[in-house]
Each structure stands twice: as structure tokens, then as C-alpha cells.
Structure 1
Amino acid sequence: MGTLWHNGSIYTMQAENDQVEAIFTKNGLIIEVGEATALRDTYQDMITNEIDLQGQMLIPGLVDSHLHLIGHGEKLMRLDLSEMKSRDEILKALHKRCAQTPAGEWIIAEGWNENEWRESTLILRDDLDQLSNEHPLVLKRVCHHAVVVNSLAITISGIEENIEQPFGGVIGRYVDDRLNGMFKEDPALKLIMNHLPGITDEYVKRALTDSIRDCHRLGLTGGHSEDLHYYNGFLPTYQAFVSVIEEAGLPFRVNLLVHNKVVDDMKESRFGYRSKRGLIELDAMKIFADGSLGGNTALLSHPYHDRPDTQGVAIYTEKELHDLVQKARNYEMPIAVHAIGDLAFEMVLNAICTYPPKLGLRDRLIHAQIMRHDLLERAKELPVIFDIQPGFVPSDFPWVIDKVGKDHMAVNYAWKTYLEKGIHCAGGSDAPIEPVNPLLGIHAAVTRRKPFDADHTIYDEKECLSLYEALSLYTTGSAYAIGQEESRGKIASGYVADFTVFEKDLYTIQPDEWLEIKAAMTVVNEQIVYVKK
């Protein structure tokens, strides 16, 4: 009937270093915390199971506040380019995959990042044509805001050489004006992505299953995921989550952001904000305000230092953005807006001030990387959460300095400054853009260093977080982002029985050792869903 958890380092996250000796749980909830002997005496007739933590560290279940669960599963299923350090390495891997794949089948690869290559010459259409004219080839950049494709993919997609560039999108060309195979941002990306082979329900469920199991392995008990626009529409994708999490019994506490392009489908299906089924809950309306830094499409208030001919891309005009926010308010929904560049961020703040959320609701500003002091002063007065990705620091530095310019770096990626100003922050990975492992994000938040960097280069040391602050991003911060701070993110009576157990106490070892340890156990709704073998 109930479970006693004891004999470990149990951190409640109610205050820094606050610990308890034991926890008694029942029916998916924490009933009481305290001394093991006292709990055993009080609940002796209800304790049917005891979990001896054997000295390991237990904390509230870690929740990734921003990821794409199905996309992460797809990355696990596809050719992964994210660890490859040169264009030659990628081309060799693609050549091998072409040789193993029947002619006519699409080959989709994930995660190239020219900023991590030894030399950054892009792979373009002509390079891919040399590999194969029998397979449509699609290479997704790590940011998912750009793809490069070969001629066969262009032909199958019905794209003509003289195609006009859509507003909010970028179509790349060679100096001779031929298409070079590069497509950036959704208005351009969909010209290719809409022609990929049909996505079956079984494919989506397999990707989701693989993704959740991988999250369990890494200690994640839940996530705030944005998937409902990309896999055959709102209802089929929602049903895939129901099928895997509720019907197949793979517990994962998930809040689903609803892309603005399917929010009407949500309403027509008679769902709304906070509609819930078991562990699945619908959340804020997702909007993209700009693109990515790597693709020079994040919208800045000044020209890019490395590309003075551009300030980035606005996905919507200011009026269109205001109209979308107004629609969210008409549906009594908060918004969750992708805004990397400072000008995009400013446009979003303007829209929120024009159409504020209903009392008690909180908007979230996703990424919030390129910032200005005046924007922080405005944001701290609004009911907003900064949805940050600590792993972007080791991924983006030092190249981001050359891209944005030293004169515009004062409060960029400034996690500590955000918290000190009283701005609530939640932490996530943006998987599959970055690895989903929360320990990588925690390490990045505390050290602001690349993992295993022999030089121990720290990027803006004054912005380093304490371990407690870093853990809070994935516990109390993620709970606050969805208005569930009274029931999730802490070890306390009445809170959900979601736990992450690490094999060692992070407080007793050095940060670089965090990169080597594993989750020993993951618990969702009192159910042990993963145990390290």
C-alpha cells in the first residue's frame, strides 16, 4: 500500500542543503517526511515496501523544461552527426549510409554543427550530389532551423530554381544563383519537410517510446515537450502520447506545448489549456519569434558581427505576433515563445504588455540568450518565466562572441543575473538540439565550461550558479513554469512521488565527476521506472 524510502542523502529542494532522513509515499504522493524510525512506527500497517537507497542521493524528480520528446526519439533512430568534428567525417558517414540503404529511400541525418568542425566550410547541394543521386538526402542542422539537401530531394519536393524566398524563411543560393540546397526557418523548411515520407503512427510511438526510456535512464521523470505540430497534426500526435504513456504504461509526466499552427485543432478537438489525461497535460501556446544563432537567423537589434548584411529573421511581423498572442488570450492560454535574439525578445515583451495573460497565468520566454539590461528590467516586472538551456553555454562559446560581437555580450546567457533580478528560471536541454542528459546541463550551469575541457576555460565566471540553483532549474523551476509549484519539484507532504536517484551525492564530489556518474533509479508517480544494472 505504501513505500518507505530511506538510508540515502535525501535533498528536499525546499531550501539549500535541506535534507530529511526518510520519505513515506502512497498512491503516487508523498505522505510525510521525517526520521525513518518515526515514519516506520506511524505507518507500520501501511508500509508494504521499503527502498534502501544505500547511501545514494535522492532529489525531487528532474524535469526537462524544454525538449522535443519525439524529436529526441528520432535522433536515437537516425544517423547522428552531432559528435562528428569535420565535414569529411560526415561525408564518409553519409557515403556508408547510402551504400547500406536501398535506392529511392530517404536518408535523414541529424545534428551537423559547422561551428564544431576543424574547418567550417559548409556541406551543400553539390557535395551531397556527389554522394548519391539515388537517395533523397536531408541533413538537419543541430538547431533544427536549417537543413541542407541534395538535388533529388529538391526535385521530389517540386522546388524550381527560380523559387521566390518566402517571408520569414531563407533559401540559399550559390554565387551563380543556383539553389545550394540550404533552407532555413519554417517557411522555407516546409518546402522540403512537407515532402518527406509519410509518418506512421507506429513510427511516432516507437520514437516516443525510445525517447522516454532514454529519459528514464538519465534520471528524468518528466518534460515540457513541443511536438504537436510536426507528426500528422494535433490529434494523432496527442493520441500517440496517450498510447505510450497511459495505455502502454510507460510513465512520464509530460506537459505539451501547443504550437500556434495547431491551437485551433486543439479547440476543435474539445481540448483546452490544462486539459489532462493521467500524466499528460496540455500547456501554453508555442510561438516562434525568430530563428537560431548558428544559422544567423536569431533576430538581433544590430547586425551580426560575422555577417554585417543581416540582423536575423523575424518569423512573424509585429502585428502577426500580436494577433497570435491575442488568440492565446482568447483561448485563456499563456504563451511560450522561442526568442533567442534581443529584438525578438523585445517584440515578445511588447506583445505581452499589449495582451497580458489572465491573472494567475505565466508566460514563458524560451532561450532568452541575447539580452539587454533594459529588457531585463522590463521582464522582471511581468509574470514571465525564462526557459533557459544551460547546455547552450558550452555549445555556443566561444564562437558566439565572434558572431554577436564583444560589444553586445554584457548580459547574454546571464543565468545568475536573471535569478538575482528575481526572474524565475526553468532549465531544459532543447533535445534533440542538445543532449538530453540533465547532468550535462547542471554541470554547464555551475561551471560554464565545456565538458572535460583540459584548459578549464570558464565563459563569464560571474554567471556561474551554485549546485542548489542549478538543481532548482530542473525541479522547483520547472514546476513553477507550469504553475505546479505547490505539488511538484520538492520533497514535501502532498507533493508527487517523482524522484531522481544518483549513484553518488553531487555535493560530495567535484563537478567534473558529475559527468561520469549515472542515475541509479528513476521514480515516476511512486513507480520505479528505471534501475541501473
Structure 2
Amino acid sequence: MSKTIYTNGVIYTLDSNQPVVESVVIENGKILDLGSHQEMSLQWGRAGARVIDLQGKMVTPGLIDSHLHMSGIAFNFLDLDLTGVTSKSEMLDKIKQKANTVPPGKWLIGMGWDENLFTEGTIPTIDELDRVAPHCPIYLKRICYHAFLVNSKALEMSHYHPTIEVPQGGRAVLDPQTKKPTGLLLESASQLVTKHIPDKTYDELKNGLGQAMKFAIKKGLTSVHTNDPAYLGGLQQTYRMYDELLNQEQNGLRCNLLIDYPYLPALKEKGMFAGFGNEKLQIGAIKIFADGAFGRRTALLSEPYHDEPGQFGEAMQTEEVLFNIVKDARAQSMPIAVHTIGDQALENVLNILDQFPKVNYRDRIIHTSLVREDLIARLADPSIVADIQPRFVVGDYPWVIDRIGKERESYLYAWKSLLSNRVICAGGSDAPVEPVDPLLGIHAAVTRKTPGKNEVWNESQKISMFEAVKLFTVGGAYATNEETIKGTISRGKLADMTVYSKNLFELDNPDELLNTNIEMTIIDGKIQEV
């Protein structure tokens, strides 16, 4: 196979041996050589070599999103997308428009609503939902996937009754006067409804997933770590879908699959394990929930919520159950990836991990939102990765300060403290909770503010542009123990690179990130067409 030379660029390798080069030579999807334009042209530019002029553009290793839900992005292409809605009336209008296209009895599914963005009104009531869609059941996922809205038709089709048993860790919110459902379901209470929603067909799901992959590549991503089996029909169907799209149909994106713990026995039955697969598609860690989220005060804290004294949040599993889940994972030599928002949840998880031997792959603390000094020291372990989502600053401030209080803010999204204490950190979006665009994540990490606004949140925890880019490259590779094959532009590594319209390290103002474009996404040495 002929060689390809990407040349005349400002190529930041993130490899300390050769930090900046002008040219990269690629053969068979791997980096063969790198150096100056002149050196690489003389050494490799003979007849047959394909030369691609980067026209002075900035290049980094391919961007990696360490935690998202490709299935959720897929559903944005298939269902009602309420992301960015800024009022109750706008939300109800969108639901009504969609409902007018839905036949009677067919479910209307939506996602992305966030009442914290509302400039007018609050969460729609069940009566209001009934008025805009009386003929079809509605199920609307909040942007965090920890709260859900349904109408009366949905409750009727789910056989809801006042004495129904709500799954542990969940709550069906009732009107304090009438004791009737408000239409709001929290956490696992959603299972009362979801088991009655017909599954999308395989072809529908696969089509949406394929669109999601192209969208991620368009945003400069070359690899993603994604958690999907609960939404794509289980382990077998999820793996089959990814295998067809990536290995058979040659969609370019590299995907590492986090597997929800109920599918642990199925992994064993299929002979799958962490690292099973190839460089395109791999099985990753076992995904567990330790707690909820700040929005509904379900994140588990060591001290009470500032705006609701006496409320500490909720553990999604008892410590005994969590211990046994980790025990079962370790019995199969599997690493774990734990959704951990509150500091008490983090302490509980670290206490349990201390009781088990390490495995060949790093464990991941997903979100690591609220920490303490003693917990940061415990996270500084080479077998643990803090899987952080910088864009949460935009989604959670300023209301999150009401939840935790000003005195704890210095430990909220404390990325500088984590990095300064040598905690291995990887950067993700948690899309569709936050936008999949990694440049928005980098912007949040270096500015700690909402685009278009001036207020900076907890400025001491800002990180540098270089540190932020490393989160989405080197850090992402460490999260899946792939630092020997990706994360830097180095000889022998996978030829994955991202090309930008501006040099991120020479911006006069980090807000220029907001109008920086992805010029090329290169995977296996090939420019991806999307």
C-alpha cells in the first residue's frame, strides 16, 4: 500500500520526544515517520507517495470523547429533540407539533428538556401535557436522563395505579394536595413506563446510530467511549449493530463499549472481556451507577444540600449491592466505570475498590463532580481514571451553587486540583446531556463560563489550553489502556488526527474556540467524508 504524507502543517504531537513537526508519514493506517517537511519529502516523497498539503493548519492527535451515549445522539435523529428549549410554552409547542404527526396510541418519545434554561414557566404539568397530546402517550427524558415527564395516556398504557410498587431508587412525584401524579418520574421510576414502550426496529436504531457516528466524526472525534446496551436492545444486539457499522460497513469512528452491569453474565456467555475486539470496536468497562444528579438532589453528598437541609441525596445501590457488583465484575477480571457525582458516592466507591485487586484495565470514576482534599489524594492512583465532563460547568451553573453552597464550590468540577495532584483525567461530553462537540468541552475547561456570558465559575480551577487538549487526546487513550497505540502522534501509533481552522495554542482569546472549525478528521490515515 502506498504511503501518504500529510505535510506543511503545525502538528502538535503531544509526544515530548518531538513536540511539534511539519509532516507525518502514514502507511497501512499507522504512523511510519514524522519530522520536518524537507526531511519527510526527501525520505519518503518518492513516486507513488500521496501528498496532502495541510496549508499551515494546526493538527493534534485524533480527539477522543471518553464518555457519551451514541444511542442518545442517535435518538436525537429519530425522536423529538428538546435540547435548548428556553420556556414552558416553547416546549409545549414543540410537543404539540410532534404530536400532530403521531397516530393515536403510538408513543411520542423526546429528550433534552432542561427547566434550568427556562426564562418563562416551569416544568409542564401532566394536565398541560394532556392538552397538547391527548391521543398519544408521551415519554420525555430530561437532559440528564435522571428525570422524565409523562402524560396521563402514558400512565394509562403503563397500568399505573396509586399502590404500584416503584423500583428502588426512584420516585413518582405526586401533587402534595391531591396525591395524584404530576407526570414527573425520577431515576428508576422511569422503568414503570419504559417497559411498556415498544422497541424501535433494528434498522431504525442502526440508521440512527450510523448518523450519530457521522456527526461525531464531523466534530473532529476519531474515538468515543460509549454506553448503550440498555438503549439498543441488550448486549448482543448492541455489539452486532456496532460490528456491522464499523467492521463490515467500514464507518470510520473507533468505539469502546461500556457495558451495563446487568449484562455481565451475557459477556461471560459470549466469551467477551475488556479489550475484546479490535482497534475499531472493543469491549470496555462495566458501567455502574453509584448515585444520581445535582438537579433533583439525588447526587449523594457527605454533608446536606445547602438548599434542602437534611437531604443528602440517594445511593443508587446499597453499599452491599455495590460491593457485590464490583465483586462479580472482578470475578471476570473486568474494570468498572462508575457514575459518581457526589463526594459521598465517590468515597463509597473508593472504599469498595480498595477491597479488590486491580485488573489489567483501569477503573473509571465517571463525572467525579464533587470531591474533597482526601478523596483527590486517593484518586491519584495509576489504576484509576477520573472521567470528567468540562461542559457540565455550562449546564450546571449558577443553580448548582444553590444546591451545594458557596463553601463547597472550590471542590466542584475541580479539574486543576485533580491534574495538579497527578490524577489521570480523561475528557468527555456525556452527550446528548451536553453537546458532542469537543471544542465546546475544551472551551468550558479553559474558561469555566457559558459562551456569550462573562461570569467565570470557580476561576482557580481553570486549566490551560494544552491541558484541555490533552484531556481529549492523551487522557482518552489512558482511559481504555490504549496509550501505546493512540493519544499522541508517534511512530507506530494509529494514524488518527484532527485538523483545525485555527491554532488553538495561539488564540488571543479562548472564545475564538467558538468559531473554530474542524477542517479534517483523519482516521487510519484517511480523511473521513461526512
TM range (shorter): over 0.9
Corresponding position of 2:181? 179
Q: 1:461: which partner in 2?
A: 459
2:414 matched to 1:414? yes
Normalising by structure 2, we get a TM-score of 0.96
Deviation at 1:310, TM superposition (A): 2.6
User: Which residue is 2:171 aligned to?
Assistant: 170
1:320/1:104 CA distance change after superposition, 3 Å: same
Matched with 1:308 is 309
* Pairing 1:259-270 to 2, within 5 Å after superposition: 259-270=260-271
Structure 1, 493-502 or 104-113: larger mean CA deviation: 104-113
Question: 5+ unaligned residues in a row in structure 2: which ranges?
Answer: none
2:372 maps to what in 1?
372
CA distance in 1, matches of 2:516, 2:205: 31
8 Å CA contact 2:154–2:193 kept in 1: the answer is yes
Question: How far apart in 1 are the matches of 2:320 and 2:210?
Answer: 40
1:472 alignment counterpart: 470
Partners of 1:169 and 1:313 within 8 A in 2: no
CA contact (8 A) 1:6 1:51 kept: yes
Q: Assess if the C-alpha contact under 8 Å between 2:409 and 2:458 holds in 1.
A: no
In the alignment, the residues of structure 1 paired with residue 258 and residue 351 of structure 2 have an alpha-carbon distance, to the nearest angstrom, of 22
Q: Does 1:42 align with 2:43?
A: yes
Superposition map of 1:260-409 within 5 A: 260-358=261-359, 360-381=360-381, 383-409=383-409
| 1:235 alignment partner AA | Q
Unmatched tracts of structure 1, length 5 or more: none
Contact kept? 1:2, 1:46, Cα under 8 Å = no
Q: Which letter maps to 1:20? A: V
Instruction: Say whether residues 1:240 and 2:238 are aligned partners.
Output: no
> Could you tell me which amino acid in structure 2 is paired with residue 395 of structure 1?
G
- Shifted more, 151-160 versus 115-124: the winner is 115-124
Question: 1:229–1:261: 8 Å Cα contact kept in structure 2?
Answer: no
- In the TM superposition, residue 303 of structure 1 has moved relative to its aligned partner by 2.2
How big is the shift at 1:43? 2.1
Give the SS at the match of 1:100. coil
- C-alpha distance in structure 2 between counterparts of 1:231 and 1:69, whole Å: 10
Distance in 1 of aligned mates of 2:440 and 2:45: 40
Q: State whether residues 227 and 256 of structure 1, in contact with CA within 8 Å, keep that contact through their aligned partners in structure 2.
A: yes
8 Å Cα contact 1:16-1:468 kept in structure 2: no
> Structure 1 residues 51 and 307 mapped into 2: Cα distance closer, same or farther (>3 Å)?
same
Give the TM-score, by structure 1 length.
Answer: 0.96
Q: CA deviation at 1:102?
A: 2.2
Shift of 1:286: 0.7
Aligned letter for 1:305?
H
Cα distance between partner residues in 1 of 2:16 and 2:517: 24
Instruction: Count the aligned residue pairs.
Output: 527
Report Cα offsets for 1:59-80 as digits up to 9, x if no partner: 1000100000121111133222
- What amino acid maps onto 1:182 in structure 2? L
Match of 2:30 in 1: 29
Measured after TM superposition, the shift of residue 421 of structure 1 is 0.5
CA distance in 2, matches of 1:74, 1:208: 8
Give how far 1:248 is off. Answer: 1.4
Question: Which whole-Å deviations, capped at 9, do the CAs of 1:362-402 have from their partners, x for residues lacking one?
Answer: 11100011111121122224621100000001211111000
Change (3 A) 1:239 1:247: same
**Bigger Cα displacement from structure 2, 254-263 vs 177-186:** 177-186
* 1:118-143 deviation per Cα after TM superposition (whole angstroms, max 9, x unaligned): 24622232221121221111111010
Any conservation in 1 of the 2:7–2:54 contact (CA below 8 Å)?
A: yes
In the alignment, the residues of structure 1 paired with residue 395 and residue 244 of structure 2 have an alpha-carbon distance, to the nearest angstrom, of: 35
More displaced 10-residue stretch of structure 1: 52-61 or 153-162 = 153-162
Aligned-residue CA RMSD (Å): 1.6
Q: Secondary structure at the match of 1:409?
A: helix
Q: 1:5 maps to what in 2? A: 6
308-317 vs 260-269, which deviates more?
308-317
Partner of 2:164, secondary structure, is coil
Partner Cα distance (1:42, 1:250) in 2: 32
2-side partners of 1:381 and 1:89: how far apart? 47
1:108-187 → structure 2 map (5 Å cutoff): 108-119=109-120, 121-175=122-176, 176-186=178-188
Q: Aligned partner of 1:207: which letter?
A: G
Q: Residues 495-510 of structure 1 correspond to what in structure 2 (within 5 A)?
A: 495-509=493-507, 510=509
SS at match of 1:122: coil
Q: CA 1:448–1:46 in 2, change beyond 3 Å: closer, same or farther?
A: farther
Q: Offset of 1:318 from its aligned partner?
A: 0.1
- Alpha-carbon distance, 1:15 to partner: 4.2
Q: In the alignment, what sits opposite 1:75? A: 76
The answer on whether the counterparts of 2:7 and 2:22 sit within 8 Å (CA) in structure 1 is: yes
**One-letter amino acid of the counterpart of residue 431, structure 1:** A
Q: Does 1:485 align with 2:483?
A: yes
**Alpha carbons of structure 1 residues 382 and 320: separation in structure 2 relative to 1, 3 Å:** farther
> Deviation digits for residues 89-123 of structure 1, max 9, x if unmatched?
10111112222322222111211111111246222
CA separation in 2, counterparts of 1:102 and 1:147? 22
Separation of aligned partners in 1, 2:243 and 2:145:
26
Question: Which position in structure 1 is the counterpart of 2:519?
Answer: 520
Alignment of 1:160-239 (within 5 A): 160-175=161-176, 176-186=178-188, 188-239=189-240
* Alpha-carbon distance between aligned partners in 1 of 2:286 and 2:514, rounded to the nearest angstrom: 34
Q: Offset of 1:331 from its aligned partner?
A: 0.6
Over 3 Å counting, the alpha-carbon distance change for 1:278 and 1:487 in structure 2 is: closer
Indicate the percent of aligned positions where both proteins have the same amino acid.
39
Structure-2 separation of matches of 1:150 and 1:17: 59
Contact between 1:229 and 1:262, CA under 8 Å: does it hold in 2?
no
Following the alignment from structure 1 to structure 2, what is the Cα–Cα distance between the partners of residues 502 and 290? Answer: 38
SS in 1 for 2:128: helix
* Residues 124 and 149 in structure 1, CA contact (< 8 A), matched pair in contact too: no
CA-to-aligned-CA distance 1:494-516 (integer Å, 9 cap, x gap)? 11100111112112322111111
Amino acid at match of 2:71: I
Q: Tell me the distance in 2 between the aligned counterparts of 1:507 and 1:530.
A: 27
